[in-house]
Amino acid sequence: MTGTLLSIDGLTKAYPGVIANDDVSFDIREGEVHALLGENGAGKSTLVKMIYGLVKPDEGHMRLNGSPYAPAAPHAARASGVAMVFQHFSLFEALDVAENIALGMESPPPMRDLAKRIREVSELYGLPLDPTRTVGELSAGERQRVEIIRCLLQEPRLLIMDEPTSVLTPQEVEILFETLRKLRDEGVAILYISHKLEEIRALCDHATILRLGKKVATCTPSETTARELAEMMVGSTLQSPESAPHAAGDVVLELDRLSVASPSQFGTSLRDLSLELRMGEVLGIGGVAGNGQDELLAALSGEIRSAKGALRLKGRDIGPLGPIARRRMGLLSAPEERLGHAAAPDMSLTENAMLTGAQREGLVRHGLLQWGKARSFAEAIIERFDVRTPGAGTVARALSGGNLQKFVIGREVMQRPEVLIVNQPTWGVDASAAAAIRQALLDLASQGAAVLVISQDLDELMEISDRFGALNEGRLSEIRPARGLSVEEVGLMMGGAHGMEVAHV
């Protein structure tokens, strides 16, 4: 470990209505893994976008290796030896691996040489990858490899990784960590963004913690407990959701070898899913992104119809029924994507309350809309779920992620579902909103409803589920009681390392 590689001094960036970064300063040294820790909305993404040249700071400056560093664009950052792996990959599904990598390089060699170098580098770092495959066909873990190798080919001095493990199984995380440690030993500095505390404690040498755009602390994660880290991140002690004791009741929803084809080209089709969902229980479905979660939600909500007999609600075959009919029968759902799927971005909350509430809340009579009733319904959701908004007339996209998510979940919960299906209920949501949503789901179950939670956040599933299963390439693992499952067992249920070779490093 030697000197300082990147020194950040007083960076400030304001957007209309929010200060994303407020006078942030810290140093990253050569050969260290430096964690950037913070809640959603704490300003982590804005900060790394400034380092990577995608966003220009309003104030403050950076120094790289002692000389001033102000990248005007990502290619300038790359030329200075700064590389970045994005959380939502910057990949092109219709192009192949080599083309994707070439696009991220300043002066790529001819394609044939590039393919050879991809093979070499990927072998060297224990991340095998075939340069001729189309990216759309790769798993989430493999896609991340494409991004990492794209960075490594440029021999970076600073590698930025934005939430890299959110798409990996525990086994895959281990492989990634091996690679990152090897890079660190070669002197590469890694800026590691995450909100997963245990990972940071296992991997990182130093941590900078952001809250509401400000740096609130620096620490050495291995010497700090996860609880201390969490309190620094959130700024207060958090209440764990409480589950009132309840017994699982009768089976309400039954999947019998459910198979549906994915409607999108690079989607994952569901194959032979069987499970029984009981009243009063929370069933958690884990799995890495892109293993059929969206398809499962769509098949259950009714957006995708399924074959006769594959899907039964309270004994009735609902496979051929659409979302409206299923809602009438008490099966409600909340998809992952808030803007554009669960809610229409440019419509008001009143109009969005109409979106799923039309039938069960009696907001439509003889085809005519009862806007007054819809407004009261929206206001009731806002009130009960503490949605921070000027009023029911606000358009959905003006709400923060957490507030809109509370509205979306609240809209379904308030309709007294008998079965509720949610996908990624707390994705991109701040900690207090996440806690409120989890509590609402648990309360619903304790009142006798059946709740199916699809999520990629294993901690969340372990916290609220009674039983747990995992989706892997469109298939469902065995369903087991959640209590007492070890991380290794959960990882194996999710498909282990997905046949990806383990790093030989």
Partner 1 sequence: MLKLEKRPQPSQLWIYLTPLIAVLATMAAGSVLFAFLGKDPVVAIRTIFWDPLFSEFAFYYRPQLLVKGAPLVLIAIGLSLGFRAGIWNIGAEGQYIIGALTGAGVGLAFYPLDAWFVFPLMVIAGALGGWAWAMIPALLKVRFGTNEILVSLMLVYVAEQLLASMSLGLMKNPEGRGFPGSRNLQHYESAHNAELITGTGMHWGVVAAFIAVITAYVLLNRHILGYHIRLTGQAPRAARFAGVVPARLVLFCLGTAGALAGLAGMFEVAGPAGQVSIDFNVGYGFTAIIVAFLGRLHPVGILLAGALLALTYIGGEIAQSQLGLPAAAIQLFQGMLLFFLLAIDVMTNYRLAWQRREVA
Partner 2 sequence: MDFGSISPVLLLASLMVAATPLLLAATGELVVERSGVLNLGVEGMMITGAICGFATAVNTGSPLLGMAAAAGGGAALSLLFALLTQFALANQVASGLSLTLFGLGLSALMGQGYQGIKPPPFPELHIPILSDLPFVGGVLFSHDPMVYLGLLICAAIWAMLKYSRAGLILRAVGENHDAAHALGYNVVLIRICAIMFGGACAGLGGAYISLIRVPQWTEGMTAGIGWIALALVVFASWKPERVLLGAYLFGGVTVIQLNLQAAGVAIPVEYLAMSPYLITILVLVIMSADRSRAPGSLGRPFHASS
Close Cβ partners of 427 (under 8 Å, ≥ 6 residues apart):
336, 405, 455, 456, 457
Instruction: Return the one option of partner 1, partner 2, none that residue 265 interacts with (CB less than 5 to 8 A, by type).
Output: partner 2
- End-to-end C-alpha distance for the chain, whole angstroms: 20
Q: Does 343 bind partner 1 (CB under 8 A)?
A: yes
Number of chain positions touching partner 1 (CB under 8 A): 42
Name beta bridge partners: 28. 6
Of 356 and 472, the one with the shorter C-beta distance to partner 1 is 356
Q: What minimum distance in Å lies between the beta carbon of 77 and partner 2?
A: 8
Return the residue of 14, 19, 70, 95 that touches partner 2, per CB under 8 A: 95
Asked if 60 interacts with partner 2 (CB under 8 A), we say no
* Stretch of 87-95, 275-283, 344-352, 410-418 lying at the interface with partner 1 (CB under 8 A): 344-352
- Measured between alpha carbons, how far is 419 from 412 in angstroms, rounded to an integer? 10
The torsion angles phi and psi of 411, rounded to 5 degrees, stand at: -60, -40
Sole binder of partner 2 in the list 4, 12, 65, 90 (CB under 8 A) = 90
* Residue among 438, 476, 429 at smallest CA distance from 310: 476
Looking at 14, 19, 55, 355, which residue binds partner 2 (CB under 8 A)?
Answer: 55
44-103 residues near partner 1, rule: CB under 8 A: 56-61, 68, 70
Question: Distance between CA atoms of 293 and 471, rounded to whole angstroms?
Answer: 7
Would you say 270 or 363 has its CB closer to partner 1? 363
Contacting residue, 27, 303, 317, 473, with partner 1 by CB under 8 A: 303
Selection from partner 2, partner 1, none that 397 binds (CB < 5 to 8 A by kind) is partner 1
Determine the Cα–Cα distance for residues 217 and 123; give it in Å rounded to an integer. Answer: 38
Residue 133, binding choice from partner 1, partner 2, none, Cβ under 5 to 8 Å by partner class: none
Those residues with Cβ within 8 angstroms of residue 492's Cβ, 6 or more apart along the chain or in another chain? 171
Contact of residue 53 among partner 2, partner 1, none (CB under 5-8 Å per partner type): partner 2
The answer to whether 346 contacts partner 1 (rule: CB under 8 A) is: yes
CA atoms within 13 A on the CB side of 329: 20
Q: How far is the CB of 221 from partner 1 (least distance, A)?
A: 32
Touching partner 2, residues 100-159 (CB under 8 A): 102-104, 108
d(CA 198, CA 59) in angstroms, rounded, equals 33
Phi and psi torsions of 35, nearest 5°? -90, 140
Please identify, among the stretches 106-114, 217-225, 318-326, 381-389, the one whose residues bind partner 1 according to the rule CB under 8 A: 318-326
Helix (H, G, I), strand (E, B) or coil at 216: strand
Question: Residue 73 or residue 202: which is nearer to partner 2 going by CB?
Answer: 73
Q: Closest Cα to residue 293, out of 338, 322, 356, 336?
A: 336
Residue 109 as a binder of partner 1 (CB under 8 A): the answer is: no
CB count in 10 Å sphere of residue 475 = 17
CB of 482 to partner 1, least distance (A): 28
398 touches which of partner 2, partner 1, none (CB within 5 to 8 A by kind)?
partner 1
In the complex, what is the shortest distance from the CB of residue 126 to partner 2, in angstroms, rounded to a whole number? 25
Judge contact between 181 and 174, C-beta under 8 A. Answer: no
344 binds partner 1 (CB under 8 A): yes
Q: Judged by CB under 8 A, does residue 86 bind partner 2?
A: yes
Q: What are phi and psi of 500, to 5 degrees?
A: -75, 140
Contact 21, 12 (CB under 8 A): yes
Instruction: Give phi and psi for 207, each to the nearest 5.
Output: -140, 140
Tell me: does residue 394 bind partner 1 (CB under 8 A).
yes
Q: Is 92 in the site for partner 2 (CB under 8 A)?
A: yes
Number of residues in contact with partner 2, rule: CB under 8 A?
A: 24
Sign (positive or negative) of CA dihedral 381, 386, 392, 395 = negative
Q: Which of partner 2, partner 1, none interacts with 369 (beta carbon under 5 to 8 A by kind)?
A: partner 1
**Cβ burial 395-413 (10 Å sphere, 16+ → b, else e):** bbeebbbbbbbbbbbbbbb
Q: Which residues bind partner 2 (CB under 8 A)?
A: 15, 46, 49, 53-55, 73-75, 78, 86, 89-95, 99, 102-104, 108, 265
Q: Which residues bind partner 1 (CB under 8 A)?
A: 16-17, 56-61, 68, 70, 301-303, 322-324, 327, 335, 337, 339-347, 351, 354-356, 358, 364, 367-369, 371, 394-395, 397-398
